């Protein structure tokens, strides 16, 4: 195992360009799980991002909140303005593992880990986040809801580093984040739902019910068009269009589908049948 220790972002980008197989490591909360017994991890070269200080803070501008490439969950939990303007970020952050994970885990790391069960990604996506990527070839910005192309596949080239995540500041008239896990803390989501409504429209984002975290356009359409929905079962066709849950070690497709229908139906009971 080798590790490269860049002292600045340009240096990191140079190193990444020179070794595209290098694995950038931030908080390490995903990468180091069972590290000693995962011998394949020991063959890799890592790029340590932990000293790239400019990437740590989150920044507020007039139009947006910019999470840095190394901003942690804890940074957001402690930011009073985030609690006011982007409460789902705080709700989600508080449900990531527990304090020890929240103190180390980064939003960007959650994005590039690309787990279909991620906690940070759904709320970022529901806030129309944009991923900011840097490489020696320049800057690129990709909306998060177009960032994933398949299971663990994303629009990040090996020489790119996520240096920030931008969230437009908006007035939200409705927002909720539901994480359905097997217990109240330290749980991987069986179903995750992040829902927002603003002048830009409805965003319904689902996790753990498809190979990638994704928006649910058919469900969003029901909300946008004010279609009457009389029961959870009435949502099943739209859900079937949007997601494809599976049976896995944590839960079953049947459960995930049913929970998604029930949570959507009940959380949005005030909105079904009402045009925006």
Partner 1 sequence: MLRPAGRHMSALSISFNINGSPVTLDVDPADRLLDTLRYQLALTGTKEGCGEGECGACTVYVDGLPVNSCLIPTYQVRGQRVETVESLDPGALEPFERCGATQCGACTPGVVMTAWWIRGHPELLGTHSIRELMAGNLCRCTGYDGIVDSVAEALGETGSGQGEP
Partner 2 sequence: MLAQERDERHEDARGAEAALEPVSFAECGLKRMQRLARAIPEALDGLDLVAVRLDGEHEAGADRLAVEQHGTGAAHAVLTPDVRAGEAQLVTQEVGQEQPGLHCALVAHAVDRADQRRSQGPQRYALAGSAARRQNSSMKRREALAKLTGRERYVDDLPLRDFLWGMTVRSPAPRGRVTAVRFGKDVDWSQFVVVDHRDIAGPNVVALIEQDQPVLAAGYVRHVHEPVVLLAHPSREAVRRAVRAVEVVIAPESPALDFRIAPAPDQVQHGSDNVLKHLRIVKGDVERALAQAPVVVSGTYETGAQEHVYLETQGMIAYVEGDVLVVKGSMQCPYYVLKALQHALARDETRVRVIQTPTGGGFGGKEEFPSHIALHAALLALKSGRPVKLIYDRGEDMAATTKRHPALVRHRTGLARDGRLVAQDIEVVIDGGAYVTLSPVVLSRAIIHAAGPYACEHVRITGRAMFTNAVPFGAFRGFGAPQSQFAGERHMDVIARTLGIDAVELRRINLLTDGQTTATGQAIRDGTDRVAVMERALELSSYRDKQREHAAFNATHTTLRRGSGLATFYHGAGFTGGGEVALKSRLRVAGRADGRVEVLSANIEMGQGTLTVFTELAATRLGLEPEDVTIAEADTARVPNSGPTVASRTTMIVGGLIERAADDLRCRVGLDDTARGEAVKQAIRRWHRDHPGAGEALFGEAAYEKPPGISWDDQTYQGDAYGAFAWATYVAEVEVDLRTCATRVIDFVAVQEVGRVLNPTLAKGQVQGGVVQGVGWALMEECKWRDGAMANNQLTNYLIPTSNDVPSIRVAFLENPYPHGAGGAKGLGELPIDGPAPAILNAVARATGADPRAIPLTPERLMELIDGPADVGAQHAAPRR
Phi, psi of 253 (to 5 degrees): -60, -40
Question: From the list partner 1, partner 2, none, which binds 240 (C-beta under 5 to 8 Å, kind-based)?
Answer: none
Q: What, of partner 2, partner 1, none, does residue 28 touch, CB below 5 to 8 Å by kind?
A: partner 1
By C-alpha distance, which of 32, 28, 15, 22 is closest to 158? Answer: 22
Contact between 249 and partner 1 per CB under 8 A: no
29 scored as a contact of partner 1 (CB under 8 A): yes
Which partner from the list partner 2, partner 1, none does 182 bind, CB cut-off 5 to 8 Å by kind? partner 2
Exactly one of 9, 17, 25, 218 binds partner 1 (CB under 8 A); which one?
25
Residue with Cβ nearer partner 1 (37 or 228): 37
CA–CA distances in Å: residue 272 to residues 172, 182, 196, 221, 223:
18, 29, 14, 11, 6
Residue 177 binds partner 1, judged by CB under 8 A: no
Q: Measured from the CB atom, is 94 or 197 closer to partner 2?
A: 94
Q: How many residues does the chain have?
A: 276
In the bound complex, what is the minimum distance in angstroms from residue 185's beta carbon to partner 1?
3
Calpha distance 208→256 (Å, rounded): 8
The tokens of 231 are what?
């029961």
Query: Which residues are near partner 2 by CB under 8 A?
Result: 33-34, 36-37, 39, 42, 98, 180, 182-188, 190-191, 249-252, 254-255, 258-259, 262-263, 266
148 binding partner (options partner 1, partner 2, none; Cβ < 5 to 8 Å by kind): none
Listed as own residue / partner, the contacts of 18-25 with beta carbons closer than 8 Å and 24 or more positions apart are 19/45, 19/47, 20/158, 20/159, 21/45, 21/158, 22/46, 22/47, 23/47, 24/49, 24/112, 24/161, 25/49, 25/50
- Host H or E run for residue 192: strand 191-198
Q: How far is the CB of 36 from partner 2 (least distance, A)?
A: 7
Residue 230, helix vs strand vs coil: coil
Q: Which stretch binds partner 1 (CB under 8 A): 41-49, 150-158, 166-174, 203-211?
A: 41-49
Q: Which of 8, 100, 225, 241 binds partner 1 (CB under 8 A)?
A: 100
186: left (phi over 0), alpha (psi -120 to 50) or beta: left
Residue 222: alpha-carbon gap to chain centroid: 24
Q: State the binding partner of 255 from partner 2, partner 1, none, CB within 5 to 8 A by kind.
A: partner 2
Q: How far is CA 33 from CA 27, 37, 38, 188, in A?
A: 12, 9, 9, 14
CB of 164 to partner 2, least distance (A): 29
Cβ proximity to partner 2: between 129 and 206 the closer is 206
| Nearest distance in Å: CB 247, partner 2 | 10
271 contacts 174 by C-beta, under 8 angstroms: yes
Residues binding partner 1 (CB under 8 A): 1-3, 5, 25, 27-29, 32-37, 41-42, 46, 48, 50, 74, 94, 97-101, 103-104, 184-186
């Amino acid at each position: 195992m080798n590790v490269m220790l860049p002292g600045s972002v340009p240096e990191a980008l140079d190193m990444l360009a020179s070794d595209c197989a290098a694995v950038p490591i931030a908080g390490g909360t995903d990468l180091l799980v069972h590290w000693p017994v995962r011998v394949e991890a020991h063959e890799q070269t890592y790029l340590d991002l932990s000293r790239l200080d400019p990437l740590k803070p989150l920044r507020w501008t007039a139009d947006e909140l910019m999470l840095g490439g190394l901003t942690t969950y804890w940074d957001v939990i402690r930011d009073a303005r985030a609690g006011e303007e982007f409460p789902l970020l705080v709700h989600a952050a508080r449900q990531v593992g527990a304090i020890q994970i929240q103190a180390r885990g980064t939003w960007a790391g959650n994005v590039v880990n690309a787990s279909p069960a991620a906690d940070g990604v759904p709320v970022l996506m529901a806030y129309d986040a944009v991923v900011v990527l840097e490489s020696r070839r320049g800057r690129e910005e990709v909306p998060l809801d177009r960032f994933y192309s398949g299971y663990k596949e994303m629009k990040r080239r090996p020489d790119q580093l996520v240096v920030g995540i931008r969230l437009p500041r908006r007035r939200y008239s409705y927002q909720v984040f539901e994480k359905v896990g097997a217990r109240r803390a330290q749980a991987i989501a069986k179903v995750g739902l992040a829902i927002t409504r603003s002048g830009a429209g409805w965003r319904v984002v689902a996790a753990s019910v498809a190979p990638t975290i994704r928006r649910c356009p058919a469900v969003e359409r029901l909300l946008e068009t004010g279609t009457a929905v009389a029961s959870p079962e009435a949502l099943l066709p739209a859900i079937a269009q949007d997601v494809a849950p599976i049976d896995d070690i944590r839960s079953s497709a049947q459960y995930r589908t049913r929970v998604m229908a029930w949570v959507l139906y009940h959380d949005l009971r005030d909105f079904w049948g009402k045009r925006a």
